[in-house]
C-alpha cells in the first residue's frame, strides 16, 4: 500500500465495472491496478461495491488503513494466488501454536473460562475438520499430532484464494488457526472470535484494570478479525 498511502487524492469518483463474470473498480474511468501493477479482478459485485466505497470515502489524502477490502483483494492477486503454497505454510504455523491449546493452570476462574470458551472450538475442529489437537498448560511449545496438522492442511488447501486470505488474516490476528477456519466457514461470528482471541486479555482487564496500550491492541485485533470476516462474506 506504500504506493497510495499518504498520496493526494487524484480522482473524482470510483465506480464498479462489470467484466462479465468478474468485476473491477475504475477511478474516473481508469481501472485500478494492484500495488504490483496487476489488474484488480474481483470475484463478486458486492466486493467491488465495497472497494469502490472505500475509494469514494477518501479525503484529500489517501489513507490505506481505511481501505481494508481493497488491501485484501489486492493481496489475493499479488501474493496469495502466485504464492499459495507459501501462504498456506505460514498460515499453518498458527495451528502449530494455536492459542486454544495453551491453557492456564491457575487461577481457577480463568481456567474454567478458557475451558468454557475454547474447548467447544477444539471439539468443532475435531468433529468438522478431523483435527484432534493436543492441549497443554503454560507457554512451553508442544508438537501437535501429525494427523491434526494434516487435517488443518487439508482444510486450508480446500479454501479458494479469497477464503485463504480471510482465514489467514483472521488466524494471524487471533493467534489461532482454529478460530480463523471457524470464522472462514461462517461457523463463528467475528465478535465472538475476537472475544475468544482476547479472553486472557479481557480477564486481566477485569482483574487489574485497563491501560491505553492494551485497549489499542484489543481494538486492532477486533478490527482485523472483523475485516477478515467481512472480506470472506463479500467474496461469496
Q: What is the DSSP string of 123-167?
A: HHIIIII------EESSS--PPPHHHHHHHHHHHHTS-HHHHHHH
Q: How many CA atoms lie within 13 A of 234 on its CB side?
A: 22
- For 84-234, CATH gives 1.10.3580.10
User: Could you name the CATH architecture of 14-80?
Assistant: 2-Layer Sandwich (3.30)
Q: Determine the pLDDT at residue 3.
A: 66
- Map residue 177 onto helix, strand or coil: helix
Domains of the chain by residue range: 14-80, 84-234
- 65: cell is 488503513
- The answer, yes or no, to whether residue 32 has pLDDT greater than 80, is yes
| pLDDT per position as a tens digit, 187-232 | 999 999 999 999 999 999 999 999 999 999 999 999 999 999 999 9
Q: What is the 3-state secondary structure (H, E, C) of 80-117?
A: HCCCHHHHHHHHHHHHHCCHHHEECCCCHHHHHHHHHH
- The answer, yes or no, to whether residue 2 has pLDDT greater than 50, is no
- The answer, yes or no, to whether residue 12 has pLDDT greater than 50, is yes
DSSP state of 9: P
Q: Are 78 and 34 spatial neighbours (Cβ–Cβ below 8 Å)?
A: yes
A 10 A CB-CB count for 15 gives 15
Amino acid at each position: 500500500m506504500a504506493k497510495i498511502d499518504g498520496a493526494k487524492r487524484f480522482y473524482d469518483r470510483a465506480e464498479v465495472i462489470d467484466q462479465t463474470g468478474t468485476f473491477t473498480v475504475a477511478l474516473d474511468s481508469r481501472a485500478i491496478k494492484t500495488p504490483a501493477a496487476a489488474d484488480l479482478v474481483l470475484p463478486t459485485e458486492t466486493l467491488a461495491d465495497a472497494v469502490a466505497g472505500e475509494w469514494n470515502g477518501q479525503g484529500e489524502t489517501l489513507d490505506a488503513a481505511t481501505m481494508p477490502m481493497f488491501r485484501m483483494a489486492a493481496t489475493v492477486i499479488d501474493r496469495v494466488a502466485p504464492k499459495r503454497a507459501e501462504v498456506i505454510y505460514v498460515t499453518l504455523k498458527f495451528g502449530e501454536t494455536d492459542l486454544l491449546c495453551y491453557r492456564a493452570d491457575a487461577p481457577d476462574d480463568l481456567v474454567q473460562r478458557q475451558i468454557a470458551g475454547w474447548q467447544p472450538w477444539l471439539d468443532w475442529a475435531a468433529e468438522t475438520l478431523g483435527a484432534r489437537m493436543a492441549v497443554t498448560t503454560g507457554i512451553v511449545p508442544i508438537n501437535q499430532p501429525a494427523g491434526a496438522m494434516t487435517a488443518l492442511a487439508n482444510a486450508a488447501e480446500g479454501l479458494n484464494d479469497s477464503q485463504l486470505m480471510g482465514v489467514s488474516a483472521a488466524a494471524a490476528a487471533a493467534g489461532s488457526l482454529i478460530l480463523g477456519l471457524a470464522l472462514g466457514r461462517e461457523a463463528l461470528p467475528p465478535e465472538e472470535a475476537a472475544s475468544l482471541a482476547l479472553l486472557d486479555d479481557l480477564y486481566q482487564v477485569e482483574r487489574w484494570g485497563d491501560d491505553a496500550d492494551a485497549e489499542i491492541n484489543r481494538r486492532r485485533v477486533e478490527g482485523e478479525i472483523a475485516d477478515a470476516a467481512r472480506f470472506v462474506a463479500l467474496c461469496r
